[in-house]
Amino acid sequence: MPKKVPIEDVECEIFVKELEQNYPDIKFSHIANESRSGGQYAKIRGAKLKRMGQRPGMWDYELFIPVYDIDGEVGSYQEIRIEMKRQRGGGSTTSKDQKDWGKVYDLAGIPCKVCFGAKEALEYVAQIVLQCNA
């Protein structure tokens, strides 16, 4: 019997709740780029979003990790990107478009990671926070 794992939406909600609780200084946003299925209205809205510049494969989260200066003030930010997937065993795969965006982020010097579940995403954030403020 396959392992039961939460759907990606649930992982995202857990991630955001923990992120807001444990890292209130991190600025972030979810890039709403989900499927355009779900009826006529969803298709119309999807077409409009495409005309407005939405691109397939954009990763789920854009985060800005504060880097503190010697006085304890924010001196700069380190941008990172996270693509959220279901926990391992949940059948999530990374699309070609998502892989292509990962290459763009790499070439732009933006740390990025495909994370399988909220726990892995939070561990990645903690790692970057430590690197930025060591």
Q: The domain spanning residue 87 has which CATH number?
A: 3.40.1350.10
Task: Please report the pLDDT score of residue 34 as a whole number.
Answer: 65
CA separation for the pair 130, 126 (Å, rounded): 6
- For all residues of the chain together, what is the average pLDDT? 90
Q: Based on the structure, what is the number of domains in the chain? A: 1
34 against 12, higher pLDDT: 12
Asked whether the predicted pLDDT for residue 115 surpasses 90, the reply is yes
The boundaries of the domain holding residue 56 are: 8-132
Evaluate whether 56 touches 33 at the Cβ level (below 8 Å). Answer: yes
Asked whether the predicted pLDDT for residue 23 surpasses 90, the reply is yes
Is 3 inside a domain boundary? no
Is 2 inside a domain boundary? no
Q: How confident is the model at residue 114 (pLDDT cuts 50, 70, 90)?
A: very high
pLDDT mean over 32-60: 80
Instruction: Give how far Cα 121 sits from Cα of 72, 126, 127, Å.
Output: 26, 9, 10
CA separation for the pair 48, 42 (Å, rounded): 10
Is 86 inside a domain boundary? yes
Task: Please report the pLDDT score of residue 41 as a whole number.
Answer: 78
pLDDT mean over 63-88: 95
